[in-house]
Amino acid sequence: MSEVAVVGFAQSPVAVRDDATTSGVEMLVPTIAEAFGACGITKSDIGFWCSGSSDYLAGRAFSFVSAVDAIGAVPPTMESHVEMDGAWALYEAWVKVLTGDADIALAYGFGKSSGAELRRVLALQLDPYLVAPLWPDSVSVAALQARLGLEAGRWTEKDMAEVAARSRAAAAGNPAAQVSGSVTAAELLDRPYVAEPLRAHDCAPVGDGAAVVIIASAARARELCERPAWITGFAHRIDSGSLGARDLLSVPSAAGASSAASADVGSVDVAELHAPFTHQEILLREAMGLGGDVAISPSGGALCGNPMFAAGLARIGLAARAVMSGRAGRALGHATSGPALQQNLVCVLSGASS
């Protein structure tokens, strides 16, 4: 198989932005420019563009078309879109480069999560016949999963709070983070429930943001980046859409994506996990077999900044940055989508081309 590497990454600071539109253009233009600058390229070098976003965040149809202003699509360019996190857009871009249709491709994801009540909007991703008409919000659905694990003895509320405390401490070094700082698990456990058994610290904050990842074929990657992050495995899987028929304490799609992406995923140095709820980080580590010596989400993870449709792509970008900077030999980026970790994607990156 021909080789493809991540050569550039940028993300906007995650925040509730009153000045940002649902088209994402204001967040994307500087972010794309930053990624171009790092690689020393311009828009004319990009052979394929792919975006991830959702009309449900924008409240209007075909909202992603407005975002195309940010890429300067004149003369016409090869462009595509997924109604998914930008991580899945990156997957499409990766396939495009693998097939030789493009040498350099750019994936971007963006979301103005704060345009409406996010947890309510996300009810619309549920089964439209049997579940969505009840409007179960995303936080409540995650809370059902959290309680199953608590009562099965898989984790405690203290374990969950410790995930939050560790994430916030790690995010202190991440300028894009929305939440960071020093707090103890005991302090967090003193705070009230928002959706028992979840407290605010168990849930990713609502934030707006954008992320951009540039990939290139082997022939171009070394020109653009001193130490490309070679994609050695890339896979995604999905579990049943029937919440009540799933075993919510195993995540077969995460285990399946991770083993398809790498036979030896436990040996990565860094794993950036897209866990929007504290207990989901615990579930993902177990499902993927990530041991205690793997640095988990040194950015602070999605718990410290979860711009919808960009956060998963940013996880891959951050994992790639760990490799490109030489801080990691191998790194894993993960993205999730759907209720209670229904869909999972894993991208494994290495400083050494195979």
Partner 1 sequence: MTQPATAPLRAPLDIEFDYTRSLGPVLSQFMAALAQRRILGARGADGRVHAPPFEYDPVTAEPPGDLLPVGPEGTVVSWSWMPEPLAGQPLAVPFAWALIRLDGADTALLHAVDAGSAAAMRTGLRVRPRWSAARTGSIRDIACFEPSGGPAVPDDPGTAEAADGMTVTPVRLHYMHTASPGEGFYLRGLAERRLLGQRCGVCGQVYVPPRGTCPADGVPTHEEVELSPSGTVTTFCIVNVGYPGQRVTPPYVAAAILLDGADIAFGHLVLGCDPSEVRMGMRVRAVWGDEGVSHFEPNGEADAPYESYERFM
Per DSSP, the residues of 325-350 read TTS-SEEEEEEEESTTS-EEEEEEEE
Side-chain-facing half-sphere of 37: CA atoms under 13 Å: 7
Q: Which two tokens stand for residue 307?
A: 């711009």
Q: Of 66-74, 94-102, 154-162, 295-303, which part binds partner 1 (CB under 8 A)?
A: 66-74
Any residues with CB less than 8 A from the CB of 44 and at least 6 apart, and which?
none
Tell me the closest approach of the beta carbon of residue 111 to partner 1, in angstroms.
13
Tell me the closest approach of the beta carbon of residue 319 to partner 1, in angstroms.
27
Q: How far apart are CA 235 and CA 73, in angstroms?
A: 29
- Answer for which of 1, 18, 175, 354 binds partner 1 (CB under 8 A) is 18
Per DSSP, the residues of 274-310 read --SBHHHHHHHHHHHT--TTSEE-TT--GGG---TTT
Q: How far apart are CA 141 and CA 314, in angstroms?
A: 24
Size of the site for partner 1 (CB under 8 A): 61
- Answer for which of 3, 34, 43, 295 binds partner 1 (CB under 8 A) is 43
- Answer for which of 37, 40, 69, 101 binds partner 1 (CB under 8 A) is 69
Q: Residue 79 pairs with which residues in a beta bridge?
A: 49
Residue owning tokens 């963006």: 110
- Answer for which of 3, 29, 159, 266 binds partner 1 (CB under 8 A) is 29
Q: Are strands 208-217 and 104-112 parallel, antiparallel or unpaired?
A: antiparallel
Tell me the closest approach of the beta carbon of residue 134 to partner 1, in angstroms.
6
Tell me the closest approach of the beta carbon of residue 176 to partner 1, in angstroms.
21
The letter for the amino acid at 218 is: A
Give the number of other Cβ atoms within 10 Å of residue 173's Cβ: 11
Q: Does 245 bind partner 1 (CB under 8 A)?
A: yes
Tell me the closest approach of the beta carbon of residue 144 to partner 1, in angstroms.
5
What φ, ψ does residue 177 adopt, rounded to 5°?
Answer: -70, 145
Q: How far apart are CA 70 and CA 32, in angstroms?
A: 8
- Answer for which of 6, 35, 39, 68 binds partner 1 (CB under 8 A) is 68
Residues 187-216 that bind partner 1 (CB under 8 A): 193-198
Q: Does 35 bind partner 1 (CB under 8 A)?
A: no
- Answer for which of 184, 242, 267, 325 binds partner 1 (CB under 8 A) is 242
Q: Does 40 bind partner 1 (CB under 8 A)?
A: no
Q: Based on CB atoms, which residue is closest to partner 1, 125 or 299?
A: 125
Q: Does 250 bind partner 1 (CB under 8 A)?
A: no
Tell me the closest approach of the beta carbon of residue 71 to partner 1, in angstroms.
5
Tell me the closest approach of the beta carbon of residue 137 to partner 1, in angstroms.
6
Tell me the closest approach of the beta carbon of residue 54 to partner 1, in angstroms.
12
Q: Based on CB atoms, which residue is closest to partner 1, 146 or 261?
A: 146
Q: Based on CB atoms, which residue is closest to partner 1, 145 or 299?
A: 145
- Crossing angle, helix 278-288 and helix 157-171, to 10 degrees? 90
Any residues with CB less than 8 A from the CB of 269 and at least 6 apart, and which?
294, 295, 322, 327, 328, 329, 330, 331
Q: Does 65 bind partner 1 (CB under 8 A)?
A: no
- Crossing angle, helix 86-98 and helix 311-324, to 10 degrees? 60
Tell me the closest approach of the beta carbon of residue 322 to partner 1, in angstroms.
29
Residues 97-156 that bind partner 1 (CB under 8 A): 112, 115-117, 119-121, 123-124, 128-137, 140-141, 143-148, 151
Find out whether 185 and 162 touch, Cβ atoms under 8 Å. yes
Q: How far apart are CA 200 and CA 277, in angstroms?
A: 10
Identify the H or E element spanning 281. Answer: helix 278-288
Residues that bind partner 1 (CB under 8 A): 18-23, 25-26, 29, 32, 43, 56, 59-60, 68-74, 112, 115-117, 119-121, 123-124, 128-137, 140-141, 143-148, 151, 193-198, 240, 242-245, 248
